[in-house]
Every structure is written in C-alpha cells, then in structure tokens.
C-alpha cells in the first residue's frame, strides 16, 4: 500500500468554469446532439454553419467529460506509434489516417487562432521520449517511416535531447514541430459560445434517457432539473464517448470506458518547453499557461481497476506512481507542491479508430465517439465530415476508415 497523501480532487482546467447555460427547449428540432464535449460542440457548430437547427443536450456542463479533464495535447497521429500503426493497418491506410490527423490539426489550430477568446493554443512542438532501448528503436523507425511518407518528423538522440532540453533522463525522442497544446476546457467553452452566437441551443443538466422511434424521426426522453420531458428530432447524433453504450448498447464491446488520472503542481517558473510524453504515450506532461506542471498516466500499473469504470475517484496507487515519476524525471521540481489531482474517462475504441457515421439499423441516428485518448487530434475534422454527410446525404470519403458499419454492418 502507498503512503503518498492524496491532494484535493479538483480539475485544474475547470477552476474558472463559466455559468451553466440552459436555453429553453422547443417541442421539436431538426438535430439533437447528445453530449457537450469537444466532439458534440464541434459537430453542432459544423451543423449550424450548414444551416441546421441544432440543440445540444448535456447531462452535466460543457467539458464535464474527458474534454475538460485531459492533458490538452493537440497532436497529429493515432494512439499507436506510426511503426505499429503501419504493422496493424498496412502502410497505405496508416498514411491516410495520419494525413487526416495532420489536416485536423491544421484546420483546428487555425480555427482556435481565429477565435476572439484565449484558448491557450500554442504550436509548441511535441516530444515522444524513449524510456527503454526498445522504445528508442521504435521511435527512430517511426520518425523514418513518417518522413518517407511525407510527414514532418525528427528523431533526437539522447545527446541531442540533452543539448536541446537541458537535463534529460530519456534515451532519445521523436520530435514533431507542428504539434501543440491548448487549455482544453477553454476550447470547449469557446465552441459553446460560438455555437450559441450562431443560433444553436445548449441545455446543461439535461440527460437523454432514451431515444425512441417517432413518426417525425426520433423522440427523446429527457431528465431535466424541472422533471421529465420529451423532445422530437429528425436526426440524433451521439457524442457521448465513454458513455455511448448507455444509449447504444450495440457499442458496449466497441467503445470501453478507460479512466485516466492526472495531477498538477503549484505554479512554477518555465521548466517544460513543450508537450511531452514517454513510455509509448502512457505518461504525458506539459506546463500549463499559469505555470503548473501537469502530468498524467500510470494507469498501466492498475489496468484492471481503470477499465470499465465511469466514476471519477482518484486511485491512490496511480497518484503515488505519478509522484514518483515526477520526482525521478524532473529533479528541478523537487519540493514542488502538488496542487490538485483528478481523473477523466476516455472512450477507447476496440480497434483504436473512432466511430463516426450513421448507426447501423437506426436511420437518422449518428455517432461520433471512441477517440481513444486522441480527441483533439481527430474530432474537429471527423465532425465536419459527419455534418456534411448528414446535410448532403452522401458519404464523406475522408471518414471511410471510421464508419460504424465496419463492426456492426
Ligand atoms: C486524463 C486524460 C488525458 C487525455 N489527454 C489527451 C490529450 O492530451 N490529447 C487528446 O487529444 N486527448 C486527450 N484525452 C482524450 C480526450 O479528452 C477525448 O478524446 C475527448 O475529450 C473526447 O471528447 P468527446 O466530446 O468525444 O467526449 P467527452 O468530453 O467525454 O464528452 C461526452 C459528453 O457526453 C455527456 N453525456 C454522456 N451521456 C449523456 C446523456 N445520456 N445525456 C446527456 N449527456 C450525456 C457527458 O456528460 C460528456 O460531457 C485525454 C483524456 C483523459 C481522460
């Protein structure tokens, strides 16, 4: 048993959370989006821009789910290192999917920079660091394969790492200059503001309990603070990530809840220059705009306990592991106080790729979920393509690897 004391459970990013919005709901609407995370609000905005009457329903508040509880890395790529993605998917498919994430990153970062509010976006670069000789070789191979396929990627040896970042305990790293970071909850709140300014509706504290068929399309049974009510919609889109199985049981084995845990130190002078990760992405860290060092991971040590859970309680063993990692890898941070810690639940897809498109057997219901710890690298473009599919009624080529029918067809 560990004896590391647990800090206050609080999400750093949610500290200055805006007031909850509860727009009055109509009797019927063209499109309902379930879930006000990154995916739901991006999709609603894309739909609204295409002229659709849209209403977002959220059980809690915008960014209450994984979208407000993550590391805020805005990265190109998938959950696996590229050499592994090539082995798993084949070279051409891996290249196409990587290119999709690069386009997502370009479009989404341009959108964030165009917003009138500060979302903390920085194109700071990203280092995937090697903790073992085996991982070092894989990262070197990954960088090589990416360059061969036309993507920007460098491999830094241990000596180069040391020279460029000061002290480094790692054996080498892959450097990706275009990757960046954001204050994740602020991104979500900015999308919510944008949606409402464009005429979209948002109702917090409104849970969708069931979606039943109706002559006009679909009838949603809701739980609101005032009690039960109904809403009719032509189209319903599930952006419920880890919770998808609750309304779509067919996805129970396809999207699994996986809990991630993070901590944040007190405010410190600049010690971490960019977005960073190690151990195949299992540990990840960065410095927040106000100076807090934010670190997450260690769930590999508690695999059984962290899969399939939706509760947001801290795991003391993981906290102890993260604290040890922090002290062992950043001697400059010795003595830094841990200000808070929190968890968030991700939606891990069975094959590592998101599920975006019409739900098989439920015409007029769609899904954008299962981002497998990489929503910021995927969701903007995925939901843009999905909005076009819904409005134009034809399949969007760039989503072809993500269609739900690949498993349920
Ligand atoms: C610790 C941690 C670190 C991460 N780090 C990164 C990172 O650095 N970079 C990155 O790209 N990704 C990261 N991720 C993953 C990223 O946060 C997700 O991929 C992304 O936020 C998914 O967005 P979403 O909108 O699909 O889901 P969510 O943000 O989880 O939103 C789903 C929403 O649906 C709502 N909901 C569910 N069911 C209902 C219902 N029946 N009625 C009404 N509302 C409902 C929930 O309340 C929730 O708000 C991390 C995640 C965690 C937990």
Instruction: Confirm or reject: Cβ of 375 under 6 Å from ligand 1.
Output: yes
Determine contact, residues 372/349, Cβ cutoff 8 Å: yes
For ligand 1, atom 9, name the residue with the nearest CA: 73
pLDDT of residue 2: 55
Q: Which of 36, 45, 108 lies closest to 75 in space, CA to CA?
A: 108
According to the model, what pLDDT value does residue 265 have? 96
How many angstroms does the Cα of residue 310 sit away from the middle of ligand 1?
12
Instruction: Using the structure block, give the residue that is written with the tokens 């976006």.
Output: 121
Strands 275-278 and 126-129: parallel
Closest residue by Cα to atom 49, ligand 1, is: 65
- Crossing angle between the packed helical segments 91-114 and 379-392, to the nearest 10 degrees: 90
> What is the number of the ligand 1 atom nearest to the C-alpha of 296?
1
What per-residue confidence (pLDDT) applies to 97?
Answer: 97
For ligand 1, whether the C-beta of 61 sits within 6 Å is: no
Tell me if 268 CB under 6 Å of ligand 1.
no
Which atom of ligand 1 is the closest one to the Cα of 260?
1
Structure tokens at 391: 């409005």
Q: Which atom of ligand 1 is nearest to the CA of 64?
A: 49
Distance CA 22, CA 20 (A): 7
What are the residue boundaries of the structural domains of the chain, listed by start?
A: 12-69+186-253+351-408, 124-180+255-349
209 and 222 in contact (C-beta within 8 Å)?
yes
Give SS3 for 351.
coil
According to CATH, the topology of domain 124-180+255-349 is D-Amino Acid Oxidase; Chain A, domain 2 (3.30.9)
Q: Length of the chain in residues, anyone?
A: 409
CA 333/CA 324 separation, integer angstroms: 12
**Residue 335: predicted pLDDT:** 86
Distance 26 CA to ligand 1 centre (A): 27
In degrees rounded to 5, what are phi and psi of residue 269? -70, 170
As beta bridge partners, residue 31 has: 54, 235
Q: Which atom of ligand 1 is nearest to the CA of 40?
A: 25
Cβ atoms of 21 and 202 within 8 Å: the answer is yes
Q: What pLDDT, on a 0 to 100 scale, did the predictor assign at position 216?
A: 80
Q: Is the CB of 248 under 6 A from ligand 1?
A: no
Measure Cα distances from 128 to 82, 162, 167, 276, 373 in Å: 12, 14, 16, 6, 15
* Residue 120 Cα to ligand 1 middle (Å): 19
CA distances from 327 to 70, 284, 322 (A): 21, 14, 9
Long-range contacts of 111-118 (CB under 8 A, 24+ apart): 111/380, 112/182, 112/187, 112/190, 115/190, 115/194, 117/186, 117/190, 117/193, 118/183, 118/186
From atom 50 of ligand 1, which residue's Cα is the shortest distance away? 70
Distance separating the N- and C-terminal Cα atoms of the chain: 47
pLDDT along the chain (409 residues), means of 10: 80 95 97 98 98 98 98 95 96 97 98 96 96 97 98 95 86 96 98 98 98 93 97 98 97 96 95 94 95 94 87 94 92 89 97 96 96 97 98 94 86
Distance (angstroms) between ligand 1 centre and the Cα of 223 equals: 21
What is this structure's pTM? 0.97
Q: Measured in angstroms, how far is the CA atom of residue 170 from the centroid of ligand 1?
A: 30
The phi, psi pair for 107, rounded to 5°, reads: -65, -45
Cβ burial, residue 282 (10 Å; 0-12/13-18/19+)? middle
Residue 261 CA, ligand 1 centroid: distance in Å: 13
Tell me how far CA of residue 401 lies from CA of 142, 150, 233, in angstroms.
Answer: 21, 20, 28
> What CATH number labels 12-69+186-253+351-408?
3.50.50.60
Query: β-strands 154-157, 227-238: how paired?
Result: unpaired
Coil, strand or helix: which one is 392?
Answer: helix
370 contacts 354 by C-beta, under 8 angstroms: yes
For 147-158, how does the pLDDT look when each residue is reduced to its tens digit (9 = 90+)? 999 999 999 999
| 238 touches 220 (CB < 8 A) | no
- Does residue 370 have its Cβ closer than 6 Å to ligand 1? no
């Amino acid at each position: 048993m560990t004896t590391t004391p647990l800090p206050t459970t609080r999400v750093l990013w949610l500290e200055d959370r805006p007031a909850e919005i509860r727009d009055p709901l109509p009797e019927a609407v063209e499109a309902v989006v379930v879930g006000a995370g990154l995916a739901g609000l991006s999709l609603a905005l894309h739909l609204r821009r295409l002229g659709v009457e849209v209403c977002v329903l959220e059980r809690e508040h915008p960014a209450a789910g994984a979208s407000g509880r993550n590391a805020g890395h805005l990265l190109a790529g998938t959950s696996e290192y590229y050499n592994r993605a090539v082995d798993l998917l084949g070279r051409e498919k891996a290249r196409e999917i990587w290119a999709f994430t690069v386009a997502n990153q370009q479009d989404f970062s341009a959108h964030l920079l165009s917003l009138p509010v500060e979302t903390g976006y920085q194109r700071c670069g990203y280092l995937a660091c090697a903790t073992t000789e085996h991982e070092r070789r894989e990262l070197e191979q990954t960088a090589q394969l990416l360059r061969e396929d036309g993507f920007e990627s460098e491999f830094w040896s241990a000596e180069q790492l040391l020279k460029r970042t000061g002290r480094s305990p790692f054996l080498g790293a892959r450097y990706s200059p275009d990757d960046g970071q954001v204050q994740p909850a602020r991104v979500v709140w900015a999308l919510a503001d944008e949606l409402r300014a464009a005429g979209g509706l948002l109702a917090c504290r409104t849970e969708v309990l069931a979606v039943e068929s109706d002559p006009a399309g679909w009838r949603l049974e809701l739980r609101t603070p005032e009690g039960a009510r109904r809403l009719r919609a032509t189209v319903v889109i599930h952006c419920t990530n880890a919770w998808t199985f609750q309304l779509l049981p067919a996805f129970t084995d396809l999207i699994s809840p996986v809990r991630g845990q993070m901590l944040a130190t007190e405010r410190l002078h600049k010690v971490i220059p960019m977005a960073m990760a190690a151990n195949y992405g299992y540990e990840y860290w960065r410095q927040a705009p106000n100076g807090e060092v934010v670190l997450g991971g260690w769930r590999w040590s508690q695999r059984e306990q962290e899969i399939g859970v939706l509760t947001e309680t801290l795991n003391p063993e993981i906290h102890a592991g993260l604290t040890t990692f922090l002290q062992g890898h950043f001697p400059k941070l010795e003595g830094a106080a841990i200000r808070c810690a929190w968890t968030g639940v991700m939606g891990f897809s069975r094959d590592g790729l998101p599920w975006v498109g019409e739900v098989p057997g439920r015409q007029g219901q769609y899904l954008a979920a299962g981002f497998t710890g990489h929503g910021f690298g995927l969701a903007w473009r995925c939901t843009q393509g999905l909005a076009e599919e819904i409005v134009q009624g034809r399949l969007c080529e760039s989503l072809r690897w993500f269609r739900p029918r690949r498993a349920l067809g």
